[in-house]
A and B are shown apart, each in its own frame.
Chain A
Amino acid sequence: KAGVTQTPRYLIKTRGQQVTLSCSPISGHRSVSWYQQTPGQGLQFLFEYFSETQRNKGNFPGRFSGRQFSNSRSEMNVSTLELGDSALYLCASSLALQANYEQYFGPGTRLTVT
């Protein structure tokens, strides 16, 4: 089975712009979670989607949003980019929305905001 894929792998944007990141889960996985990783804050949970619905949300401003499509692929969007949004964005998929299901991570998208 193919693993979790994320596109693009690298992205450079300017302050004030918006960006959309994409995540394709492992085939058959229906839950997708997003995490932000920065040197200062570490790994922080953004949100989780299951069956096209956001089921859980971390403590991030409304500039961060996401969605999930019927094929379980997910996108996250960051509007009005700030320098502090520079980070590695990791996507993880799992079979379903249950705590005992393991999360498998993608390679991440490295976002640089200048």
Chain B
Amino acid sequence: AQTVTQSQPEMSVQEAETVTLSCTYDTSESDYYLFWYKQPPSRQMILVIRQEAYKQQNATENRFSVNFQKAAKSFSLKISDSQLGDAAMYFCAYRGTILSNSNSGYALNFGKGTSLLVTP
């Protein structure tokens, strides 16, 4: 089964600074998708960014970018120019591309999350 590990339960960053959240995963599949989701206090899960494993180029979305290292099975999220509204739980998630009885198929496998605090 695929596992996702977020080793930082909590992180803190000052407004306007840059922070990097770590994520590693374990899989035997060669094709898959990786995601970062944000969950603010409202509990609504919001997709921040996604990365296709077959793409070598790192995904970027405005102030959010990833560092995808396929060989190392690492997928970190960098938030630049942090804003107070970025404060939330951030979840790294893996999604396989094989639908079978032996794995969770297309289900999202989530890490335990990193709580990001943004200070003024």
Contact = CB atoms under 8 A, between A and B. Distances in A.
B105 A56 contact: yes
Interface residues of A, number: 25
A45 to B, nearest CB: 4
B99 interface: yes
Contacts of B78: none
A90 B43 CA distance: 9
Contacts of A42: 110-113
A102 B97 contact: no
B83 interface: no
Interface string A26-60: 00000001010000001111001000000110100
Query: Chain A at the B interface: mostly helix, strand, loop or mixed?
Result: strand
Interface residues of B, number: 26
A55 B99 contact: yes
28 contacts: A35-B108, A35-B110, A42-B113, A43-B91, A44-B110, A45-B104, A45-B108, A45-B109, A48-B105, A48-B107, A55-B105, A56-B99, A58-B104, A58-B107, A88-B43, A97-B99, A98-B106, A99-B106, A100-B52, A102-B47, A102-B50, A103-B108, A104-B47, A105-B44, A105-B45, A107-B43, A107-B44, A108-B43
